[in-house]
Amino acid sequence: MSLPRKVRLVEVGPRDGLQNEAQPISVTDKVQLVNDLTDAGLGYIEVGSFVSPKWVPQMAGSAEVFAGIEQRAGVTYAALAPNLRGFEDALAAGVKEVAVFAAATEAFSQRNINCSVSESLTRFEPIMQAAQQHGVRVRGYVSCVLGCPYEGRVSAEQVAPVARALHDMGCYEVSLGDTLGTGTAGDTRRLFEVVAQQVPREQLAGHFHDTYGQALANVYASLLEGIALFDSSVAGLGGCPYAKGATGNIATEDVLYMLQGLGIETGIDLDKLIAAGLRISAVLGRATGSRVARARSAG
């Protein structure tokens, strides 16, 4: 069993993280966060989301954030675009890469986006066409890949066709999200084993929430399946570490610390990353959700 020599981390803190924080964050602070992350060496940063601010008030101002950040050559600055309107707004803001998302289960799809899984995929078609026209790459997310709040445990066989459909539609990469954080290491391995029969392994990402403390073990389990691409969130943004039922993403610092210990290259500077996480945590007025950052800053 050999682990990947290199791993790419997709930083989702400014989007998946901040959109789940309770308090509003100014455009200036978001710009600072993205610039800090660029400076720390992240190669892919999900900067914002082009959705109605009625639905997700935290993501208002994404166009201003894109206008304000310093874009470094070779770094991808992406945005979520759940529909054609969002895609057009993203395009107008100069976004070069977008992400779309579908659920693995019918119940979650119905309650979250009011349509079936296959309808949600159909709705992406105009986005995929427009993206191709404008040379914009599209990343696909599948949520609830290991557990669903309405259907319980989710099988790999349920996930595979959704991942494949996104891939077939033109998503160059598909991220499998354990939205609830209920998944454990064995199910994670089986998930990638099964889905990799439909989508090439090197185009699959793992996206783990740490609600049940399982996220890092699941990253390690994924590495053992040859997965070399993970989404994570600086300072564990998106779930207050002190709140009941915190649902935050795994902290980028904690993933990076493990990868470094495993001798895996990422190109990211841990000290700068910790500093970025402590800065945004101070803005939010709370302690960082990264255990590595807490341990290191304890001196």
Active site residues: 240
Is 285 a binder of its own copies (CB under 8 A)? no
Quote the CA–CA distance of 47 and 78 in Å, as a whole number. 6
Which CB, 38 or 288, lies closer to its own copies?
A: 288
Hey, which residues between 130 and 159 contact its own copies (CB under 8 A)? none
8 A C-beta contact, residue 148 and residue 154:
yes
CB of 296 to its own copies, least distance (A): 9
Q: What own/partner pairs with CB < 8 Å and gap ≥ 24 does 31-37 have?
A: 31/65, 31/68, 31/69, 32/279, 32/280, 33/234, 33/276, 33/279, 33/280, 34/65, 34/69, 34/77, 35/69, 35/70, 36/272, 36/275, 36/276, 36/279, 36/280, 37/11, 37/13, 37/234, 37/273, 37/276
Out of 36, 210, 225, 231, which residue is the one contacting its own copies (CB under 8 A)?
Answer: 210
Out of 9, 131, 199, 219, which residue is the one contacting its own copies (CB under 8 A)?
Answer: 219
What are φ and ψ of residue 6, in 5° steps?
Answer: -125, 145
CB of 210 to its own copies, least distance (A): 7
Out of 13, 48, 183, 277, which residue is the one contacting its own copies (CB under 8 A)?
Answer: 183
Q: Give burial (CB, 10 Å; 0-12/13-18/19+) of 170.
A: middle
Out of 254, 266, 270, 278, which residue is the one contacting its own copies (CB under 8 A)?
Answer: 254
Is 275 a binder of its own copies (CB under 8 A)? no
Which CB, 78 or 235, lies closer to its own copies?
A: 235
**In 196-251, alpha helices (H):** 215-224
Looking at 37-45, 61-69, 191-199, 254-262, which segment touches its own copies (CB under 8 A)?
Answer: 254-262
Out of 186, 193, 265, 282, which residue is the one contacting its own copies (CB under 8 A)?
Answer: 186
Is 213 a binder of its own copies (CB under 8 A)? yes
The contact set with its own copies (CB under 8 A) reads: 1, 3, 181, 183-187, 210-214, 216-217, 219-221, 241-242, 244-246, 251, 254, 257-258, 260-263, 287, 290-292, 294-295, 297-299
